[in-house]
Amino acid sequence: MNKIKFISNRKPFIIAGPCSAESKEQLFTTAKAISQHIDLFRVGIWKPRTSPDSFQGLGNKALKWIKELKNQIQIPIATEVANAGHVESCLKSNVDVIWLGARTTVNPFYVQEIAEALRGVDIPVLIKNPIHPELSLWIGAIERLRKVGINNLAAIHRGFFTLEKSAFRNEPKWEIPIKLKKECPDLPLLCDPSHISGNIDMIQEVSQTALDLDMDGLMIETHFKPSVALSDADQQITPTQLLELKKSLVLRKTTALNKDFNNKLYELRKLIDQIDEKLVKIIGNRVSLVKEIGAYKKKNKVTILQIKRWFEIFNTRQKMGVNYNVDPQYVAEIFELIHKHSILTQTELMKKSND
Ligand code: PEP
Ligand code: MN
> 232 C-alpha vs ligand 2 centroid, how far in Å?
5
Q: Residue 17: enclosing H or E segment and its boundaries?
A: strand 13-17
Tens digits of residue pLDDT in 87-135: 999 999 999 999 999 999 999 999 999 999 999 999 999 999 999 999 9
Tell me if the pTM is above 0.75: yes
Residue type (1 letter), 198: G
| pLDDT band at 256; cut points 50, 70, 90 | confident
CA distance 8 to 211: 13
Q: What is the pLDDT of residue 28?
A: 98
Pocket test for ligand 1, best of 19, 30, 81, 125 (most atoms within 8 A of CB): 19
- Region of 301 on the Ramachandran plot (φ > 0 left; ψ -120 to 50 alpha; else beta): left
| pLDDT band at 289; cut points 50, 70, 90 | very high
What residues have CB less than 8 Å from 226, skipping those under 6 apart? 200, 233, 234, 236, 237, 238
> 200 C-alpha vs ligand 1 centroid, how far in Å?
16
Give the closest residue to 14 by CA, choosing from 32, 35, 43, 33: 35
Number of Cβ within 10 Å of residue 76's Cβ equals 19
Give the closest residue to 210 by CA, choosing from 245, 186, 179, 174: 174
Q: Is the pLDDT of residue 2 over 60?
A: no
Q: What is the pLDDT of residue 320?
A: 98
Q: What is the pLDDT of residue 3?
A: 85
- Region of 57 on the Ramachandran plot (φ > 0 left; ψ -120 to 50 alpha; else beta): left
Ligand that comes closest to the CA of residue 219: 1
Which of 7-16, 65-74, 261-270, 332-341 is predicted least confidently?
7-16
Which residues have any ligand 1 atom within 6 Å of their CB? 19, 44, 48, 101-103, 128, 158, 192, 195
